[in-house]
Structure 1
Amino acid sequence: MRKLQSCGCAVLLLLFSGCAVLPGNPDLPQRSDLFQLSNDAQLAYEAGEDAKAEQLYMALLRKTPNDPEIWFRLGNLYARAHRPDAAADAYQRVLSINNTEHRAWYNLGIVRLRQGWAAMMQAYGHSAPGTPVNTESERMIGHLERMPGLPAVNKNEAAAKK
């Protein structure tokens, strides 16, 4: 009886080990391909090759569209390239997948603050001195310029654009 059990276990082991070497679904991306693509995208990003990095990240997203890390990296790429709307969209995509991703919340906040700052600078620059919009936008700029991570404020340049 013991010999029969041992023989049965050996057969099961052979069957299960055979499963591990069966080819996977050809429609699914292979793990090594995804790793290489991700590595290439990160290297392009670090080298400042933004167009190449974006293409590689988009290729990754076609294979794994719900990967929050890829969306996060793409958001960082867009933020660095001064594409705030695209960056915000990418960070919001991260949050739609994982709403507890604190890095995406933080970066989205920074992008939105910068957009608010730019809008206030435009309001200030295009409004007549002493008007309510000019006064309020100047006040808001004063608050925003004390925040780290925002560009240096030069209200004289904004006023010169009038």
Structure 2
Amino acid sequence: MKRNDSLFLLLSMLVLTSCATQQARPVLDDLKTLQEQAHQAYLNAEYELAVERYLAVQDYLDKDPFIWFRLGNAYSYLKQPDKAVAAYRKAVFFDPSMSKAWHNMGIMQLRQSANTWTQMLVHTQESDPLYEKAERYSRDTLDVLNKQ
């Protein structure tokens, strides 16, 4: 009786393994297709579609720094700096040596900083004690960005 139970268990495991392998193949094919679509959309400057596809790919490859990097770039082109910086942070988390991600994140943060100083100047009085500092920081930040 034990031998029959063991044989049944072994056959069941083989059947389940076979099913899992057959199901995994379409997922891998779909993933490759999604990656190609994301890459092509990015190259065609279809950044909204690229984001959609990279997010779908990221569901499976969430530790791939290149996916996060490209996602950051797409968000940057879409003028979504917070999402771009978050994606670049993920890229450098998974690959701290990815200099392009560090660079792009720094540029995005400089732009955010310049925007903050500019908005401060718009919304504060010249008599405010911090107005002069904001003016100087705004000018200095814009100078750095203009040298890019």
TM-score range, shorter chain: 0.7 to 0.9
Q: Structure 1 residues 105, 136: closer, same or farther in 2, change over 3 A?
A: same
Give the whole-Å Cα distance in 1 for the aligned partners of 2:68 and 2:146. 22
Give the whole-Å Cα distance in 1 for the aligned partners of 2:71 and 2:125. 39
- 2:48 is aligned with 1:65: no
Which residue is equivalent to 2:135?
Answer: 138
CA deviations on 1:119-150 (whole Å, 9 max, x unpaired) are 00011111111322211110111211211358
Deviation at 1:68, TM superposition (A): 0.7
Give the whole-Å Cα distance in 1 for the aligned partners of 2:84 and 2:62. 16
Deviation at 1:50, TM superposition (A): 2.1
CA deviations on 1:84-135 (whole Å, 9 max, x unpaired) are 1100110111111111111111111011111100000011111111322211
CA RMSD of aligned residues (A): 2.2
SS in 2 for 1:34: helix
Deviation at 1:51, TM superposition (A): 2.1
SS in 1 for 2:59: helix
SS in 1 for 2:96: coil
Whose radius of gyration is greater, 1 or 2?
Answer: 1
Which residue is equivalent to 1:36?
Answer: 33
Judge which range, 122-131 or 45-54, deviates more. 45-54
**1:118 aligned residue (115, 120, 139):** 115
Q: Does the 8 Å CA contact 2:107/2:145 hold for their aligned counterparts? A: no
More helix by share: 2
After TM superposition, the structure 1 = structure 2 runs for residues 40-55 of structure 1, keeping only pairs within 5 Å, are: 40-55=37-52
Q: Percent identity?
A: 30
Deviation at 1:37, TM superposition (A): 2.0
Gaps of 5+ in 1: 1-21, 151-162
The aligned amino acid for 2:35 is S
The aligned amino acid for 1:122 is Q
The aligned amino acid for 2:38 is A
Give the whole-Å Cα distance in 2 for the aligned partners of 1:23 and 1:48. 39
Which residue is equivalent to 1:128?
Answer: 125
Deviation at 1:23, TM superposition (A): 9.6
Q: Does the 8 Å CA contact 1:110/1:149 hold for their aligned counterparts? A: no
SS in 1 for 2:24: coil
